[in-house]
Amino acid sequence: MDKPLILITGGSQGIGAATALLAAQKGYNICFSYHSQEQLAQELAVRLESLGAKTHFVRADVSVEADVLNLFSETDKHFGRLDALINNAGILRQKLVRDIEVKELEKLFGINVIGSFICAREAIKRMAFSQGGKGGAIVNISSIASRMGSPFEYVDYAATKGAIDSFTLGLAKEVIGEGIRVNAVRPGIIATDLHAKGGEPGRIERLKSAVPMQRAGTAEEVAQAVLWLLSDDSSYTTGHLLDVGGGR
Ligand code: NAP
């Protein structure tokens, strides 16, 4: 029998890549998207294949509907099944609310929120019992920023993750009868390039003493939570927001 197939958005690095590697170790095949880092995507695919996972990767901007439709049709073509979606792709950059421009807000919400909605819609079409699917699981990558608000850093980003929390709670109930479980993982400060890209390479050093565990988390620690929520070990869990924040 074929291995189950996980689709991960933004798999080229950080939490997405760590999740892909753990999923491959746990016996899944992987389709993942990247946005700009083709070289990293190629390197990751080689590692996933060496772990025994049939792998395919596709360039996609998740905020562009045509890209998402292509990502899912590539998945159909290469694997012919879909068992789980991880809505992981995300961006941020630091800015005070008083300085935010509408174009920046549209881009941020387009990637972090609308992209997750479009991907979930396409996944439901393939997984829902009423559409001939076999059920499945969706994990949205939110953030503890959704409950902290992230003042003086990125209130806009925190608001996108607040939207993802509501999306998770509502969608979980909407598709519960379709055999699809929907949960979110809310990471705290995780050691990835996201902070440097957002404008503060030293953010972890500055903030780690504010974390009860006194350190940043790793992408691998987040991946463990994601994989649990995807697995049958969490078969009675849906509509849950799981914090992976070192006690923060
Ligand atoms: P990362 O290392 O910067 O990775 C971000 C991923 O998103 C990359 O694979 C990137 O692709 C992809 N991406 C960027 N723009 C995209 C677009 N328009 N369309 C599709 N994909 C796009 O960040 P990360 O830390 O792993 O973050 C992953 C998720 O965790 C995000 O949703 C983030 O908000 C969330 N999170 C992170 C932290 C943290 O402390 N790191 C905390 C809480 C939540 P390319 O590399 O190919 O461009």
- What's residue 1's pLDDT? 66
Q: Using 50, 70 and 90 to split pLDDT, how confident is the model at 201? A: very high
154 part of the active site: no
Distance (Å) from CA 203 to ligand 1 centroid: 16
Distance (Å) from CA 112 to ligand 1 centroid: 9
pLDDT at 55 over 70: yes
The CATH number for 230's domain is 3.40.50.720
| Angstrom distances, CA of residue 23 to CA of 11, 106, 146, 225 | 12, 32, 26, 11
Residue 193 lies in a domain: no
120 lines ligand 1 (CB under 6 A): no
21 lines ligand 1 (CB under 6 A): no
At how many degrees (to 10) do helices 38-50 and 14-25 cross?
A: 20
Query: Which ligand 1 atom is at minimum distance from the Cα of 216?
Result: 40
Query: Helices in 112-215 by DSSP H: which ranges?
Result: 115-127, 145-148, 155-174, 194-197, 203-207
Round to whole Å and give the CA distance between 134 and 31.
18
Distance (Å) from CA 89 to ligand 1 centroid: 5
Residue 202 lies in a domain: no
Is the pTM higher than 0.95? The answer reads yes
> Residues 186, 157: contact at Cβ < 8 Å?
no
* Residue closest by Cα to atom 9 of ligand 1: 10
pLDDT at 49 over 80: yes
15 lines ligand 1 (CB under 6 A): yes
**117-161: per-residue pLDDT in tens?**
999 999 999 999 999 999 999 999 999 999 999 999 999 999 999
Q: Using 50, 70 and 90 to split pLDDT, how confident is the model at 179? A: very high
Residue 215 lies in a domain: no
Distance (Å) from CA 19 to ligand 1 centroid: 12
Query: Which ligand 1 atom is at minimum distance from the Cα of 217?
Result: 40
Query: Which ligand 1 atom is at minimum distance from the Cα of 190?
Result: 40
Q: How many domains does the chain have?
A: 1
Round to whole Å and give the CA distance between 138 and 129.
15
Residue 182 lies in a domain: yes
Round to whole Å and give the CA distance between 119 and 97.
28
Residue 77 lies in a domain: yes
Residue 13 lies in a domain: yes
Domain span including residue 95: 5-188+220-244
Average pLDDT over residues 34-49: 98
Residue 212 lies in a domain: no
Please name every residue paired with 139 in a beta bridge, in sequence order, or none if there are none.
86, 183
57 lines ligand 1 (CB under 6 A): no
pLDDT at 192 over 90: yes
* Mean pLDDT over the full length of the chain: 98
Which residue of 13, 108, 114 sits with most ligand 1 atoms within 8 Å of its CB, as the best mutation to test the pocket?
13
Distance (Å) from CA 91 to ligand 1 centroid: 5
- What's residue 206's pLDDT? 95
Residue 195 lies in a domain: no
